[in-house]
Amino acid sequence: MMHTLEKIAAAGIATVLMALQAHAQDTAAGQKLFQQRCGACHQIDSTRNGVGPHLQGVVGRSAGSVDGFRYSTAMQGSGITWDAAQLDTFLTNPGGLVKGTRMTQRFAKADERQAIIDFLATR
């Protein structure tokens, strides 16, 4: 028979495992959304630039800093360091945060932005 403390510990481990699994699912959903919404213009598993700069390591990166990509002067001079909050604001309305940016797509769904940003943070 299981001791009460062991039961509590087992329940705790089960909760952690469930949380990890849920997080892995979110990341997979974020990856899929990234491919659908951003993949035409941005690479993330390679450092090749396309229509947009590659986004490898973008969380914590200075805006406009990828070598070899021709940014707008607006992006280059923005002074932003990308974190989750700045990315959320940018994706909601790029031109609202960086007036004159060449990225014009807006992403209206907060849950999708969240999933994509969580995914970006894993790369």
Residues forming contacts to ligand HEC in the complex (CB under 6 A) are: 37-38, 40-42, 51-53, 55, 58, 63-64, 66, 71-72, 74-75, 82, 87, 91, 101-103, 105, 107, 116
Query: Any idea how long the chain is?
Result: 123
User: C-beta of 98: minimal distance to ligand HEC in Å?
Assistant: 6
For the CA atoms of 65, 66, 72, 73, the dihedral, rounded to the nearest 10 degrees, stands at 30
Nearer to ligand HEC, 12 or 50 (CB): 50
What's phi and psi for 82, nearest 5 deg? -70, 120
Residue placing its CB nearer to ligand HEC in the complex, 32 or 37: 37
Is residue 56 within 8 A of residue 45, CB to CB? The reply is: yes
Residue closer to ligand HEC by CB (options 31, 82) is 82
H or E segment to which residue 68 belongs: none
Instruction: Give min distance, CB of 87 to ligand HEC, in A.
Output: 6
